Amino acid sequence: MTWQGIEGHDAIAARFAVAEAAGRVAGSYLFVGQPGVGKATFARALALALACEHPAEGLTACRQCASCIQALAGTHPDIDIVEKPPERATIPLDALIGSPDQRLRTGFCWRLLLRPALARRKVSILLDADHLSDEAANCLLKTLEEPPPGSVIILVGTTLERQLPTIRSRCQTVRFGPLAPETIAAILTHEQSTTADEPGVTDLSGIAQAAGGSLQRARLLLNDDVAVFRDRLLTLLAGQPLPGVDLSRETLTVVEAAGKEAPLRRARLRIILEQAVEFFRASLRQAAGGSLPADPTMAAAVQRRQLPGEDADTCLRHTLDALTGIERNANLGILIDAWSAKLEPQPSRG
């Protein structure tokens, strides 16, 4: 059973259905969970159902009423979705409260105050809540504190730690867990069967295992360049000693092959570094006598390298730092160079 075609989050859907039946849907929600598990997709489906004129049992939209038709076309006057422009580091203040000459006469917070035009209520979704500047977050506080009666605000972020305490305390938190590998494999199989591309050439269950619960990561791994490089990356990371110069050069080549656009390059570097994080975490577990990862390629690399726990911990921290650097829009070439150099064994000081 999947709720409105969304895999893996039936329990959360059931909670909303109970809340709606009891008339206890809250005014402000904060969705958190790692990227690519379906939080934004869920938020959109929830908006559809909350706005539907005749929702079926279990809070399922009828997909036929005037409200559903507009929502499915993306033109619903009472469903508002704001996200960070890809080229910006944060959500612009103007998107929330209007440009300086239109202050508080346009924007997310202003639109929320309007009476619903079509649906039973207004549903406003703010994606990329991790990227709210302090100023923008402060503008949201009053809206979150006293949302107009019946309206629902959904903020979508990745972790609670990345939200300001003032935002967290005003929202009901909904945690989205990682997707099971079987769920990811089933979605990928379905997607491949509905596209014109030649199906069946890729090891879908292997990719589902390697994706760490994220459908987004699985889709990126499906890309041939990335899938091929993943094996190469694990070979490099398992090298004794680790070939830092090769790692740097080859990583940059794959990142640049993603295209000229910065968001595409950043997404690709993120997935490469996430694989490295997995490798060092697994090495750390192995050094502590824990079990090997389920993914056989990863397990083989970890066993080959036999990294001592202390070194695995240091490398893990350097890799997590590099991941944070991507978010800060750092120069990717410099970032990759610095990361690779830090992973190389340091000459011992006599």
Of positions 49, 52, 174, 179, contacts Zn ion by CB under 5 A: 52
Give the nearest distance from C-beta 3 to Zn ion in angstroms: 15
User: Which part of the chain contacts Zn ion (CB under 5 A), choosing from 67-75, 161-169, 197-205, 229-237?
Assistant: 67-75
Residue 68: CB minimum distance to Zn ion, A: 3
CB of 59 to Zn ion, least distance (A): 11
Q: Which is nearer to Zn ion, 26 or 62 (CB)?
A: 62
Please state the φ and ψ torsions of residue 163, each to the nearest 5 degrees.
Answer: -105, 150
Instruction: Using the minimum distance from each CB to Zn ion, give the nearer residue, 68 or 226.
Output: 68
Q: Measured between alpha carbons, how far is 200 from 182 in angstroms, rounded to an integer?
A: 16
Verify binding: residue 65, Zn ion, rule CB under 5 A: yes
Minimum CB distance to Zn ion, residue 22 (Å): 21
Strand, coil or helix: 60: strand
Query: Which of 68, 96, 129, 272 is the binder for Zn ion (CB under 5 A)?
Result: 68
Selected range binding Zn ion among 51-59, 141-149, 300-308, 332-340, rule: CB under 5 A: 51-59
| Cβ atoms 80, 125 nearer than 8 A | yes
The distance of closest approach from Cβ of residue 6 to Zn ion in the complex, given in angstroms and rounded to an integer, is: 17
118 is a site residue for Zn ion (CB under 5 A): no
Residue 161 burial (C-beta neighbours within 10 Å; 0-12, 13-18, 19+)? exposed
Residue number, 68 or 187, with CB nearest to Zn ion: 68
Complex with Zn ion: residue 54 or 175, whichever CB lies closer: 54
* Candidate ranges 66-74, 160-168, 179-187, 292-300; the one touching Zn ion (CB under 5 A): 66-74
- Quick one: which of 14, 19, 62, 227 contacts Zn ion (CB under 5 A)? 62
Tokens of 149: 């009666």
State in angstroms the smallest separation of the CB of 31 from Zn ion.
22
Residue 29's DSSP bridge partners are 154, 172
Residue 271: strand, helix, or coil: helix
Nearer to Zn ion, 6 or 62 (CB): 62
Q: How many residues bind Zn ion (CB under 5 A)?
A: 5
Cis peptide before 165 (omega within 30 of 0): no
- 5 vs 8, 10, 207, CA distance in Å? 10, 10, 22
Please identify which residue in the block is written with the tokens 């506080």. 141
Q: Which stretch binds Zn ion (CB under 5 A): 46-54, 155-163, 222-230, 324-332?
A: 46-54
239: its two tokens: 């090298």
CA distance 181 to 212: 8
What would the DSSP string read from start to end of 136-171? HHHHHHHHHHSPPTT-EEEEE-S-GGGS-HHHHTTS
Pick between residue 4 and residue 297 the one whose CB is nearest to Zn ion: 4
Residue 241, preceding peptide bond in cis (omega within 30° of 0): yes
- Dihedral sign of CA atoms 338, 340, 342, 346 in order: negative
What single letter denotes the amino acid at residue 304? R
Instruction: Report yes or no: 282 and 209 within 8 Å, Cβ to Cβ.
Output: no
Examine residue 30 and tell whether it contacts Zn ion (CB under 5 A). Answer: no
CB of residue 14 vs Zn ion: minimum separation in angstroms? 20
Choose one: 49-57, 182-190, 215-223, 232-240; the region binding Zn ion (CB under 5 A). 49-57
User: Which is closer to Zn ion, CB of 72 or CB of 320?
Assistant: 72
3-state per-residue secondary structure call for 169-184: CCCEEEECCCCCHHHH
- Footprint of Zn ion (CB under 5 A): 52, 61-62, 65, 68
